[in-house]
Amino acid sequence: MRALLLEQQDDQTLAHIKDIGSDRLPEGDVTVDINWSSLNYKDALAITGKGKIVRNFPMVPGIDFAGTVRHSRDDRFKEGQSVVLTGWGVGEHHWGGLAEQARVCGEWLVPLPNGLDERKAMIIGTAGFTAMLCVMALEEGGVHPDDGDILVTGASGGVGSTAIALLAPLGYRVTAISGRDSNTEYLKALGAKEVMSRDGYIDTPRPLEKQLWAGAVDTVGDKLLARVLAQMNYNGTVAACGLAGGYQLPTTVMPFILRNVRLQGVDSVHTPLHRRQTAWERLAGILPDSFYQQATHEISLEQAPATAAALLNNQITGRTLVKIR
């Protein structure tokens, strides 16, 4: 099989396409013939060696993939069945999706739901799956469409943009915050009713501010999340899943004890199987066809190393799909 193999030499990460035997695949219940993968920011950090993503070499990167079952010792999966995988440390600690085959634990796989093909599943990818978990967290927090506006921060990113595309068809009125003014029309096309500039929002918040939001999806963290919390309606819920702006949270207990605000963390890496299945089925049912027409950059496996460097240099717009077969 062909694989993008990361190796280490003199503290340098080397990325090469190699033909290797399938017998080198790690232990697992299910072997998958990969048809599509994608290139995420974390993958780019791993491939270029600019982030401490991979600590054990050699490693095949690729944190998500979609393909068909080649062999299974797990009764839940049959030969030829289409499956999708995100998370579980694949591409970081366990050989991942930038190869023609992967061998993984059956518990990590989700049967591809009706209404999705493998290419569409990779347009959604880890980012879209995380967005669906955030929307589910708002629903479980009791946030209904008629309760008020929903704020989405980091809206130009993969999680934020997909969250907008999910919330709008569900009847929520969405306000987006983005650091890229050029994306205003794009975010409105996804369903945002209003787009605010991030620059005018990241002020040091007071413990409590005017109530503005019934719910929020936050991918940024730090001062921006602190201000969101200070502006939440009574009984509001914030689903927090990212730290693009920093990992700290300079806030007070005031929103929680005076306005009954809930801050719900969202992790997509170790989400249990039953919840994964629910999320993927809902993604297939909610996202409009127009979502899959968004900017996508399709590359071959051989192009992955160069594209990873371009992604880190902000030279790539939209999703990057890797056509494996």
Write out pLDDT tens, residues 280-296. 999 999 999 999 988 78
Q: Determine the pLDDT at residue 282.
A: 98
Pairing assessment for the beta strands 30-38 and 101-104 based on DSSP bridges: antiparallel
Q: Determine the pLDDT at residue 296.
A: 84
Q: What is the mean pLDDT of each run of 10 residues along the chain (325 residues)?
A: 95 94 96 96 93 93 98 97 97 97 97 96 96 98 98 92 96 94 90 91 87 97 96 98 92 98 97 97 96 88 95 82 95
C-beta separation of 324 from 34 below 8 A: yes
C-beta separation of 82 from 66 below 8 A: yes
Question: What's the CA gap between 57 and 66, in Å, rounded?
Answer: 24
Question: What's the CA gap between 32 and 61, in Å, rounded?
Answer: 15
DSSP character at residue 194: E
CB neighbourhood size of 60 (10 A): 26
Q: Determine the pLDDT at residue 204.
A: 78
Taking CA atoms, 159 is separated from 34, 243, 291, 320, in Å, by 24, 12, 13, 14
pLDDT 10s digits, 79-116: 999 999 999 999 999 999 999 999 999 999 999 999 99
Question: What's the CA gap between 193 and 167, in Å, rounded?
Answer: 11
Question: What's the CA gap between 12 and 124, in Å, rounded?
Answer: 32
pLDDT 10s digits, 167-180: 999 999 999 999 88
Q: Determine the pLDDT at residue 115.
A: 93
